[in-house]
Amino acid sequence: MCGILAIVGKTDPELAKEISSRMSHRGPDERDMWIQEDGSILSHERLSIIDLTTGKQPIQGTDTAWVVHNGEIYNHEELKNGELSHKTFRTTCDSEVIVHLYEEYGNDFCNKLNGVFAFAILDGDKFIAGRDPIGVKPLYYGKGANGALYFASEMKVLTDQCVEFQAFPPGHYFTPETGLVKYFNPVWEDHTVCTNDLDLDALRDSLVKATEDRLMTDVPLGVLLSGGLDSSLTSAIAKRAMDKVGTELHSFSVGLNADAPDLIAAREVAEFIGTTHHEIYFSVEEGIKILEKLIWHAETYDVTSIRASTPMYFLSKAIAEEGIKVVLSGEGADEIFGGYLYFNNAPNLVEFQKETISRVGRLSTADCLRADKSTMAHGIEARVPFLDKNFLEVSMLLDPKHKQGNRDKGIIEKKAIRMAFDDKENPFIPERILWRQKEQFSDGVGYNWIEELIAHAEAQVSDEDFAAAAETFPHNTPMTKEAYYYRTIFNKLYPQDSAVKTVLQWIPKWQVNLDPSGRANNEHVKTTEEGVSES
C-alpha cells in the first residue's frame, strides 16, 4: 500500500514533491518521482510490502510507459507465468504486471487484475488511471487552473491545486480521450438475476481462497479481531493457513476497557484459534482529543465513519508499534449479506436485495474509506477478503431468501455465511461467536463511546447555530448536533465545495431512528459484561 500522485501536464517538480508529502503517512518507507519530457509527473510514497529491495516506484515497463500503483495484485504470479511470460520484468513487485498488461492490451485490461488498486500510467502522450471494482483503495481526481489533470490517493493532495475535484468512481478507468469508462459490470448489479440456490461449500471455499490469497506478503501480517462473525472467520482461516507453514499470527482488538463487548468476544476467539492476542485500550477523552487529526486523515464528516474510525486509528497505531505492516479486516460482509440490523426491517426480499447491492456499491464512501484511511494513517495496510471479486460473484448472486434475517421467526442475520462455517467436527470459531448478534464496530468497543461522544459534540454546538444548519451547510445538511460538529471541523480543514461533495452519509433505512448505530434499531439486544445478550 502506498500513496500515488499523477499530474498530467507541465508541473513544478518541487511543488509536486510538497503536495505528495501530505500523504507521506501512507508510504513511510521510501519516495520517488518520475518526470516525463512534457513535464507530467508520477510520484509515489511507498509502504514496502512486496519486493522490499527492487520494488521502488514509479516502475518502467518495457519501453516508454511508467506506472504508480497503490494496492495489491493477488494474481500477479499467475499473470507473470501466464499471459505475460514473454515480458521482461525489472522487479519482483506485484505492481509491475499493471504496466505490462497495459502494454499488451491497451486500456482494456483492468478486469484481468484480481486485487485492489488505484493506478496511473504515463506513456508519452497517453495516460490512463483506474480504480479497483469496489473502491477498496482510495483515489481522487481533479483539474488545475492551468488545465493539468491531477490524480491522488488522498483528497488533501488536491484541495489547493484543483479548481474542482471529486472521488474517482470504483470499477472505472479514465483516459483523456475516453473520459471515465465503467469496466466492472457484474451480473449481480441487476437484482433480478440474484436467484442462486444456497451452496454452502462454494460460499465457504471461496472465502477461504480469498483469505489465503491475502496472506501474500514479505513483511509481518496480523488480523483485526473484533470478536464479531466476520473478523473471527477471516482470522480463523488465516490461522489455519499460517499453521501449515509454522508462522505465528498476531491478533488485535480495541475497546474502552476489558469489559467492552468486542474485547470479551475477541478474547474468546483468540484463545480458541490460538493467536498471539493484543488488547488495545483508549479513553473517550483520548478519542475526543484526536477528532480534528482523525477527520484530516479520514477526509469525511460522515457520523458513523468518524465514530468507527477513531478506535481503528488507535488500534492501527498500536499495531504499527508492534512492527506489523499488514492486517486482515472483515469489511463488506454486512453489506453483502444484509448484516446490519436495519436489514431485518426490509419490507420484502426485492427491496432487501436492492439495498445489499446499493451498500456494496457505496462501500468506497463508508467502510472501505474508514478501513483504509484509519490504518494508513500509521502506515498499515488493511486487506478485506469479503470483497474479493470471486467471493462477491458467489455471495451476491444468492437468492435473498437465504440472507434476510427475521427475529420474529428466529432467523438471525447473515445466516448463510454462518451455516457455511458451521463445522461441528472441526469448528472454525466458537459456537457462541458463530451465532453472535451483529455489533457495529463503534458500538462494540464500548457503549459509552458513542454516548459520551454525542454528549461532547452537542455541547460544542449552540441551539442558534444548529437552527441555522440548512443555511450554513446547504449540501448534506447536518441532522443532529453531532453531525454539525463534525461538519464544522471538516469545513475548517477542507473548505472547498468539491470537498464537501465527496462525502456520502451512511443512513440506515426502514427504521424510525436514523442514527447509524446498530443500537438505534429495535432488533438490537444489549450485550452484558459477561459477553452474553440480554433483552
Find the CATH number of the domain harbouring 530: 3.40.50.620
Nearest in space to 211 (alpha carbons), one of 134, 313, 326, 311: 326
pLDDT at 6 over 80: yes
pLDDT at 104 over 50: yes
Q: In 377-515, where does DSSP find H-type helix?
A: 389-396, 415-420, 431-434, 441-444, 447-459, 463-467, 469-472, 481-493, 497-501
Count of structural domains within the chain: 2
Cell numbers that stand for 79 in this block: 499473470
55 located within any domain: yes
Supply the range of the domain harboring residue 295: 216-340+359-387+426-534
Distances (CA, A) of 215 to 49, 134, 474: 11, 20, 45
- Tell which of 163, 185, 207 closes a domain: 185
The answer to whether the beta carbons of residues 1 and 381 sit under 8 Å apart is yes
190 located within any domain: no
- Tell which of 136, 167, 185 closes a domain: 185
pLDDT at residue number 442? 52
User: Mean pLDDT, to the nearest integer, of 249-264?
Assistant: 94
- Among 20-34, 308-322, 401-415, 503-517, the range scoring the smallest mean pLDDT is 503-517
pLDDT at 430 over 60: yes
248 located within any domain: yes
Average model confidence (pLDDT) across the chain: 93
User: Mean pLDDT, to the nearest integer, of 102-112?
Assistant: 97
Do 326 and 433 reside in the same domain of the chain?
yes
Q: Which amino acid is at 510?
A: W
- Among 1-5, 143-147, 354-358, the range scoring the smallest mean pLDDT is 1-5
pLDDT at residue number 11? 94
Do 144 and 233 reside in the same domain of the chain?
no
- Tell which of 132, 164, 185 closes a domain: 185
496 located within any domain: yes
User: Mean pLDDT, to the nearest integer, of 496-504?
Assistant: 97
Do 162 and 235 reside in the same domain of the chain?
no
Tell me the three-class secondary structure of 474-488, residue by residue.
CCCCCCCHHHHHHHH
User: Of 42 and 522, which is predicted with more confidence?
Assistant: 42
Do 309 and 366 reside in the same domain of the chain?
yes
Do 296 and 160 reside in the same domain of the chain?
no
The answer to whether the beta carbons of residues 358 and 521 sit under 8 Å apart is no
Known catalytic membership, residue 194: no
Q: How confident is the model at residue 535 (pLDDT cuts 50, 70, 90)?
A: very low
pLDDT at residue number 403? 93
pLDDT at residue number 508? 87
Which position among 2, 93, 110, 162 bears the catalytic label?
Answer: 2
User: Mean pLDDT, to the nearest integer, of 485-507?
Assistant: 96
- Among 4-13, 70-79, 83-92, 408-417, the range scoring the smallest mean pLDDT is 408-417
In this prediction, what percent of the chain has a pLDDT beyond 90? 85
pLDDT at residue number 526? 53
Do 91 and 144 reside in the same domain of the chain?
yes
206 located within any domain: no
Give the CA angle between residues 122, 126, 132 to the nearest 5°: 60
Do 435 and 514 reside in the same domain of the chain?
yes
Tell me the whole-structure pTM to 2 decimals.
0.94
Q: In 143-260, where does DSSP find H-type helix?
A: 200-213, 229-244
In this predicted model, what pLDDT tens digit does every residue of 387-398 receive, in sequence order? 999 999 999 999
pLDDT at 534 over 60: no
pLDDT at 522 over 60: no
Do 167 and 47 reside in the same domain of the chain?
yes
Do 160 and 266 reside in the same domain of the chain?
no
Do 16 and 119 reside in the same domain of the chain?
yes
pLDDT at 531 over 70: no
The secondary structure element, H or E, covering residue 334 is: helix 333-337
pLDDT at residue number 57? 92
Find the CATH number of the domain harbouring 177: 3.60.20.10
pLDDT at residue number 249? 96
User: Mean pLDDT, to the nearest integer, of 124-153?
Assistant: 97
104 located within any domain: yes
124 C-beta neighbours (distance < 10 Å), count? 12
Q: How confident is the model at residue 528 (pLDDT cuts 50, 70, 90)?
A: very low
Do 42 and 95 reside in the same domain of the chain?
yes
Do 220 and 122 reside in the same domain of the chain?
no
Q: How confident is the model at residue 506 (pLDDT cuts 50, 70, 90)?
A: confident
